C-alpha cells in the first residue's frame, strides 16, 4: 500500500533535509537536498559503529588537502572557513546522484549582515563545485542565505548574475515580499523557530503555517517566480498540514516515519489547509511597495512585524547557525595543515 510519504508527493515536491547520502538514496525520489551548518556538523561528526574514527574522516582529510590545492579560490577567508565550505560541497556531491534538482549550500551565517561578504562567499562556493567536480552542472547549485536586508540584497545581486538562491530563516511577509522582489528562486519559511530543535521540550506557539500559505498565495496572485519551500518541522502532523505548499524539506526522522505509515490506516488527508482561501490582506502588494527599496523603512517594518517576534526568531537562528559554523571551523582546524 502507498505510504503517507507517497501521498504527500501527490500534493507537494518533497526535498530531503540532510547531508546523509544514504537517506537520499534509500527514501527517494527527492528533488532538492537542503542543508545548513547544523546539519553539516552532525553529519561530519558521526562515528562508525565500533570505530573510534569519524565516519567522514577520509572526506575531512581530503578537504584539508583540497584547501591547500585550491588556495587561489580561497581569497581572504581563513583556512578553517574555506575547509568548511569544501566539506559541505563534498557532502552535497555525494548526494547529487540521488536527487533530480538543486543541492543547497548555506553561506557563512557570520556574514548575515554583509551584502558584499555574502556575494563573495556564494561565488566561492560555486567555484569550489567547479574545482572539485568540473562535470557537475553548476545550474544545480542553490545558495542558501539568511533573509536579512543584507542577505536579500545579496540574493538580488547573485540572481542577476545567474546564481540560484534560497532566502532562508523566513518568518514574515516583509521578508517574503522583498525576497520575491530580489528574484529569489525559493524562500524557506521556518514553521518552527530553530530553538525547537536544540532545546528539549521547547514548543513554538507561533508556528508559521499561516505565513507559509499567505506567501504562496501572494506569489501566485502576482505571478512571482519565487517558490515556497517549507522547513523546520517537528512532527508528521506538521508535514501533513503543509501538503499543497510548493516544496517541503523533511528531516530523516520524519521521512522514515512517513515512509512507514500506511495511507489507508490514517484519518489524516493531506491538502486541505492549502486548498482553503488565504487571508485577503496577504494579497495586497501596495502595502509593501514603499519599503522594497528603502532599507530603513524595511528594517523598521520587519522589526515591528509580530511586535518583534519575527526579528527575534531570525536573530536566534543566526546565533545557532553561527555557533555551528564555529564548531565546524574548530573541526576543520584539527585537520588543517
Write phi, then psi, for 3 (nearest 5 degrees): -90, 170
Closest CA relative to residue 108, chosen from 11, 36, 183, 44: 36
Tell me how many degrees the CA angle 134-138-141 measures, rounded to the nearest 5.
130
Residue 185: C-alpha distances to residues 3, 8, 156, 250, 289 (Å): 30, 22, 10, 19, 20
Identify the CA nearest to 320 among candidates 135, 150, 196.
196
Q: What's the residue count for the chain?
A: 337
The CA distance from 140 to 136, in Å, is 8
Report how far residue 234's alpha carbon sits from residue 41's, in angstroms, rounded to the nearest whole number: 19
User: What single string gives the DSSP state of each residue in 280-319?
Assistant: GGGG-THHHHTTTT-HHHHHHHHHHGGGGHHHHHHHHHHH
Integer CA distances (angstroms), 91 to 207, 229, 319, 334, in order = 31, 21, 23, 19
How far apart CA 230 and CA 274 sit, in angstroms, is 13
CA nearest neighbour of 66 among 131, 121, 127: 131
Q: Report residue 334 CA to chain centroid gap.
A: 27
Q: Report helix, strand or coil for 227.
A: strand
Q: Choose the catalytic residue: 90, 144, 207, 327.
A: 144
Task: Supply angle C-alpha 3, 212, 39, rounded to 5.
Answer: 65
- In the annotation, is 144 catalytic? yes
DSSP 168: E
Residue linked to cell 502507498: 2
Looking at the annotation, which residues are catalytic?
Answer: 144
Amino acid at each position: 500500500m502507498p505510504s503517507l510519504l507517497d501521498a504527500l508527493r501527490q500534493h507537494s515536491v518533497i526535498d530531503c533535509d540532510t547531508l546523509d547520502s544514504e537517506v537520499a538514496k534509500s527514501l527517494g525520489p527527492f528533488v532538492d537536498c537542503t542543508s545548513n551548518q547544523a546539519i553539516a556538523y552532525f553529519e561530519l561528526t558521526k562515528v562508525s559503529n565500533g570505530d573510534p574514527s569519524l565516519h567522514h574522516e577520509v572526506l575531512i582529510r581530503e578537504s584539508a588537502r583540497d584547501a591547500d590545492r585550491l588556495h587561489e579560490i580561497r581569497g581572504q577567508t581563513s583556512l578553517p572557513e574555506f575547509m568548511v565550505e569544501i566539506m559541505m560541497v563534498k557532502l552535497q556531491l555525494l548526494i547529487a546522484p540521488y536527487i533530480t534538482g538543486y543541492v543547497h549550500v548555506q553561506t557563512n551565517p557570520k556574514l548575515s549582515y554583509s551584502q558584499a561578504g555574502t556575494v563573495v562567499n556564494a561565488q566561492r562556493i560555486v567555484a569550489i563545485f567547479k574545482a572539485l567536480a568540473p562535470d557537475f552542472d553548476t545550474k544545480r547549485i542553490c545558495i542558501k542565505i539568511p533573509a536579512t536586508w543584507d542577505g536579500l540584497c545579496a540574493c538580488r545581486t547573485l540572481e542577476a548574475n545567474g546564481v540560484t538562491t534560497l532566502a532562508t530563516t523566513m518568518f514574515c511577509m516583509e521578508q517574503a515580499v522583498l525576497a520575491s522582489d530580489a528574484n529569489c528562486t525559493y524562500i524557506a519559511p521556518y514553521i518552527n523557530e530553530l530553538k525547537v530543535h536544540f532545546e528539549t521540550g521547547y514548543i513554538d506557539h507561533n508556528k508559521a503555517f499561516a505565513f507559509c500559505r499567505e506567501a504562496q498565495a501572494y506569489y501566485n496572485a502576482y505571478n512571482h517566480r519565487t517558490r515556497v519551500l517549507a522547513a523546520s518541522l517537528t512532527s508528521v502532523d506538521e508535514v501533513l498540514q503543509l501538503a499543497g505548499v510548493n516544496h517541503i524539506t523533511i528531516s530523516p526522522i520524519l521521512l522514515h516515519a512517513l515512509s512507514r505509515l500506511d495511507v489507508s490506516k490514517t484519518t489524516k488527508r493531506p491538502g486541505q489547509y492549502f486548498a482553503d482561501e488565504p487571508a485577503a490582506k496577504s494579497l495586497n502588494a501596495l502595502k509593501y511597495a514603499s519599503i522594497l527599496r528603502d532599507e530603513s523603512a524595511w528594517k523598521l517594518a520587519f522589526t515591528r512585524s509580530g511586535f518583534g517576534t519575527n526579528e527575534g526568531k531570525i536573530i536566534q537562528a543566526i546565533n545557532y547557525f553561527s555557533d555551528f559554523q564555529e564548531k565546524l571551523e574548530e573541526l576543520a582546524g584539527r585537520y588543517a595543515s
